[in-house]
Amino acid sequence: MSSKEIPFGSGVEILSMFGATFSHNLPLMSPMSGESKGQVRGRDHHALASLIGRRVSIRLHEAAGGYRDLLGTLVAADQVERRDGSIVAFEPAAIFAFREVLPKSATARSLADGEKNMNEGGRGTGVSIYDTLSRQVRQIQSSDNKEVRIYCCGPTVYRDAHVGNLRTFLLTDLVRRSIEFAGFKVKVIQNITDVGHMSEDFDEDKILKESKERKRDPFEIAREYESKFHRDLALLKIKKAEHYPRASECIEMMHQHISLLMDKGLAYQGEDGSVYFSSERFESYGALSGNRLSDLKPGHRYEFTEAGAKRFHADWALWKSAGARREMIWDSPWGKGFPGWHIECSAMSLHFLNGHIDLHIGGIDLRFPHHENERAQSNPVAKDLDSTNEAVDLWLHGEHLLFEGRKMSKSAGNVVLLSDVIARGLDPLAVRFCFLENRYRSQMDLSWASITAADRLLRRWRERFANQALSTSHQPSPQATLIIDEIASDFAQDLDTPRALQRLRSLEKDDSFDETCKSEIFAIADRLLGLDLMRVDIQPKRELSQEDSGFLQARIQARASKDYAESDRLRELLAERGIEVRDELDGQVWDWK
């Protein structure tokens, strides 16, 4: 990155090597009480010298006025090595401000190597996301210059996916649409976990547990919920992955991966016959989640029951001995058993994506232990396959979803499925719209009110723009192109979908654009949004009867006279007649249920 001259106090943010922004508007070192400028410089020089070997950002006074910024690794008290390998000397007395960018550690070295590999051999897409490993917003790249290889953790098929699960799966679709809109090819692999995922108490496989409770074959249950999963993805307009490998059909693949880890001395067979990963042998364990091995206390049940067979309490099972289990078990070089949960993703991702993953996606709850363990399992094997230190370039995680202020759970009785949304007569894409109104990195609170409002807005947009768009040309006007570029930029900048939607809301009300131009923009933007905005509603419109119209007018009058009992009675009466009434800031509104 070349140095730039930026006036102090301009408010400009400097982009670090890994894409993060940080401000230099205030000096990071300032005079202490009674200190002279010379004393400050001496203290600054001593502090800077302590950062030799680490990544730093330094702002320097220029003799001609203004400031100059250096980014790179501090190799001497007066020298910085840039990313391209060039050495830049500077005068320590000219330092105005400086800060460490990333601590020097095994993780940082690995990240630096990965960044170098990406920039030397990869092709940038222009789409950036927040990478959990580096804690930076970084650009997604195609490491093989052919396509962007994405792996997304899929469902454990023992129950229906609720709307919280679907929010995570939508994240992959948004990334894919953004990259494809930018003109790049994408290959997505999403696994289907139909064996090996233990229940919350770690005593039993989730699918086997469901099988016993329902007295049905476990694979029959798995296929039932796998089918429902694909149905829900289609209802949300989530593009299909190129492949959905099932864990139960990739057992040999896992055996091969485990054998490689054992050959490298990273895994061992315990006295109970299970094979465990030796977590202490993986130097940078904890870099993804922040859970260092030294902080993980004995007694916590990380994976399965092991009765003291593990060498270290934080080791985890790669292959679990069958023991008394009689279903869903396979032969292996270590005896009959079944795979651990984490090993399937390592084996599948490296196999189906040819040894390297450009982007790995999952929910924030998978960051630890699942993804932390997966990284430890994948990196040693990826070095042999692709000669890179990191099997995964970028790790992307979506935040949790609440429903009406509470975490969704069976005990709370607030688990919401997409079928529940449809049963209320609402478009399932209204749920997608609600997700788009929130940043993926922020916890969001979904509610029936927000879904209903989104459903109403989608219908309004379709009624206004879909028919109009049918007669528009395929080439957008220059005026439309400008807005489309802005929306595409919002998606490319860490999936700022709320801003993109706000542009469309503003456009809808903007009289400086004609209806044809607006329709062009909505039609093209929908390639990113996936809201089916150009769908023409062919269902006949229901007419409000004079009687129902009278009830609505009577309720308005009741509220005006503060007769709330009568107002509530009329609301219930209208609900029985299929009309939903809401009171908003602008007054009473209604819609068909």
**Euclidean distance between CA atoms 188 and 353, whole angstroms:** 9
**Euclidean distance between CA atoms 6 and 2, whole angstroms:** 13
At residue 13, does pLDDT exceed 70? no
Given 3.40.640.10, 3.30.70.2740, 3.40.50.620, 2.60.120.260, which CATH number is that of 110-398? 3.40.50.620
Q: What pLDDT score does 299 carry?
A: 56
Q: What pLDDT score does 191 carry?
A: 98
pLDDT per position as a tens digit, 60-107: 877 777 778 788 788 778 888 876 677 888 888 888 777 766 433 434
Instruction: Kindly write down the DSSP assignment for every residue of 473-542, as one continuous string.
Output: -SS--HHHHHHHHHHHHHHHBT--HHHHHHHHHHHHH-TTS-HHHHHHHHHHHHHHH-S-TT----SPPP
Residue pointed to by tokens 């069958």: 322
Alpha helix (H) ranges present in 94-217? 106-121, 163-181, 206-214
What CATH fold (topology level) applies to the domain 13-104? SH3 type barrels. (2.30.30)
Greatest mean pLDDT range, 62-76, 240-254, 285-299, 565-579: 240-254
**Euclidean distance between CA atoms 226 and 213, whole angstroms:** 19
Q: Are 444 and 399 spatial neighbours (Cβ–Cβ below 8 Å)?
A: yes
pLDDT over 90, % of the chain: 58
Q: What pLDDT score does 109 carry?
A: 43
Given 3.40.50.2300, 1.20.140.10, 1.10.730.10, 2.102.10.10, which CATH number is that of 409-529? 1.10.730.10
pLDDT per position as a tens digit, 406-449: 998 877 888 999 999 999 889 999 999 999 999 999 999 999 99
**Domain positions in the chain:** 13-104, 110-398, 409-529, 546-592
Q: Which of the 8 DSSP states describes residue 283?
A: T
* pTM for the model: 0.73
Examine residue 31 and say whether the peptide bond preceding it is cis (omega within 30 degrees of 0). no
**Euclidean distance between CA atoms 301 and 313, whole angstroms:** 8
**Euclidean distance between CA atoms 360 and 377, whole angstroms:** 14
**Euclidean distance between CA atoms 531 and 485, whole angstroms:** 18
Q: What pLDDT score does 540 carry?
A: 52
